[in-house]
Structure 1
């Protein structure tokens, strides 16, 4: 586990969902591979498609890589609260 990604939590008590979210948003390919090996591809895909805490860029990238429909991802079905560009 990359402890620098969990500076705000006790690394011993990080849920699998939070670990996967941080890996998707901030982890490198090596950490992504570790997370996929540890938690399984089905759980990784479930978090990718259902989490509210993921960036659109990250979800878009992983949907392309995994051949998933990004329109079904929760990230793309949420109303944007704030947008820096109008």
Structure 2
């Protein structure tokens, strides 16, 4: 099923792809990552209705595209151990100056 106005509120999340070719089953990981990183509350509510908790957990655990803050929030929210989340266990690429 493609993302349409009926099932997603923020088309701006997918500005760089052809939404008519974006399938909610085939591109599940990509969609979950985008909504978790950039979505507003309506997008997150749509995500929670569209995908199972297991889908979210698998994506959060394995994603290298989610930032640390997002991953930490969702790990706490879904009860995922931090050591199971890849992006929380890899070293920072950029040195932090603060």
Which category describes the TM-score, using the shorter chain as reference length? 0.7 to 0.9
After the TM superposition, which parts of structure 1 deviate over 6 Å for at least 4 consecutive aligned residues? none
Name the residue aligned to 1:70.
82
> Of Structure 1 and Structure 2, which has the larger fraction of its residues in helix?
1
Name the residue aligned to 2:97.
85
TM-score by length of 2: 0.77
Is residue 12 of structure 1 aligned with residue 24 of structure 2?
no
TM-score by length of 1: 0.86
Structure 1 or 2, whichever has the larger Rg, is 2
Name the residue aligned to 1:40.
52
Q: How many residues align?
A: 86
- SS of structure 1 residue aligned to 2:48: helix
Query: What RMSD over aligned residues (CA atoms) do the two structures have, in Å?
Result: 1.5
How many angstroms does 1:53 deviate by?
Answer: 0.3
**CA distance, structure 1, for counterparts of residue 18 and residue 95 of structure 2:** 32
Is residue 26 of structure 1 aligned with residue 38 of structure 2?
yes
- SS of structure 2 residue aligned to 1:79: coil
